[in-house]
């Protein structure tokens, strides 16, 4: 690769909505924005280095072994026996930290994907999954693919087993849209996990399984009524809602505006409303924003179809 020194690849990895109400740690989908960008560049000096990070307000380490993108890229190169290859990474954070939108997953996916493209794509997207997972796990210690999976593959992803990384891509109804609102507070995944119950009543488990099965059936059959009846979380949401100001007021507003369902994105504080059609999604997004703005809580609205591309090369 001597003649290619200086060649670079820039990629964009989108944010994602994990859990999707009834699919705790096993269901997620990608959205169009926000997301992170990573640049991977071939250089003469051997080894992998992170040379620039922007948009992080000094929060992220440049040490490869402490950075999600760095860990993912390093593990990929180690697997391929290419650790002596000279590669520089630039990481451009373009999504909020602790947002519940898969920020660490996006960086990890972008790191692995960018390096894989740079060296000629020896692995498929699915084969990159364990390396991206290792990168995200380096941030919070958790091993769940409901953010990494959709960010890497696009669309809606179901995780049968997180340890085995046994995943399936679900069909996306053609008019399924989402309104995501991120209020300007930060919730650490560790904190959001600590408040969850250690034991769950059998009745709640049965109801949650029914909702998850119903949501998957609704997606497959493009049955928006079934989707709406199924987007309910009886396990995590009742505990986590207390971390988000005016959560139930926002939920009532979203449903009154026509949302199919409303819940917390990942660990929060971002919330989402699934909708049929763009017009409905924009109306629902405006309704949610109005609730947060009404209590002087800054927020950002993202409206998109389900992103079926996932991470991609950009110019």
Catalytic residue selected from 37, 136, 237, 276:
136
Rounded CA separation 245/292 (Å): 8
Q: How many CB atoms lie within 10 A of CB 203?
A: 9
R_g (Cα) of the chain, nearest Å:
19
Closest by Cα among 25, 71, 21 to 48: 71
SS3 of 9, please? strand
Task: Write out the E strands in the chain.
Answer: 8-18, 27-42, 47-54, 86-92, 156-161, 166-170, 176-183, 261-264, 271-276, 299-305, 312-314
In DSSP terms, 87 is beta-bridged to 42, 48
d(C-alpha 275, C-alpha 150), whole Å: 19
Are 39 and 89 in contact by the 8 Å Cβ rule? The answer is: yes
Tokens at 206, concatenated: 């049965």
From 90, 189, 237, 276, active-site residue: 189
Sequence-separated (6 or more) residues with CB below 8 Å from residue 127: none
136 is catalytic: yes
Q: What is the set of active-site residues?
A: 136, 189
């Amino acid at each position: 690769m001597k003649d290619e020194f200086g060649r670079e690849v820039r990629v964009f990895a989108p944010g994602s909505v994990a859990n999707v109400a009834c699919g705790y740690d096993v269901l997620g989908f990608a959205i169009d924005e926000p997301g992170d960008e990573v640049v991977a560049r071939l250089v003469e000096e051997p080894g992998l280095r992170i040379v620039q990070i922007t948009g992080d307000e000094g929060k992220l380490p440049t040490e490869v072994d402490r950075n999600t993108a760095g860990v993912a890229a390093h593990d990929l190169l180690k697997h391929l026996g290419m650790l002596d290859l000279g590669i520089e990474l630039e990481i451009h954070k373009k999504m909020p930290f602790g947002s519940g939108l898969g920020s660490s997953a996006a960086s990890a996916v972008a790191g692995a994907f960018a390096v894989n493209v740079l060296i000629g794509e020896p692995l498929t997207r699915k084969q990159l999954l364990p390396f991206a997972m290792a990168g995200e796990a380096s941030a919070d210690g958790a091993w769940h693919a409901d953010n990494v999976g959709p960010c890497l593959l696009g669309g809606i992803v179901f995780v049968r087993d997180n340890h085995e990384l046994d995943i399936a891509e679900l069909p996306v109804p053609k008019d399924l849209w989402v309104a995501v609102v991120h209020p300007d507070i930060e919730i650490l995944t560790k904190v959001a996990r600590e408040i969850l119950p250690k034991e769950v009543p059998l009745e709640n488990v049965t109801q949650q399984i029914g909702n998850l099965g119903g949501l998957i059936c609704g997606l497959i059959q493009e049955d928006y009524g079934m989707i709406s009846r199924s987007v309910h979380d009886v396990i995590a949401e009742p505990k986590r809602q207390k971390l988000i100001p005016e959560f139930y007021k926002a939920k009532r507003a979203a449903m009154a505006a026509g949302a199919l369902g409303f819940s917390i994105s990942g660990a929060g504080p971002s919330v989402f409303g699934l909708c049929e059609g763009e017009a409905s999604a924009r109306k629902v997004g405006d309704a949610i924003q109005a609730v947060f703005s009404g209590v002087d809580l800054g927020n950002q609205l993202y409206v998109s179809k389900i992103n079926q591309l996932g991470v991609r090369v950009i110019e």
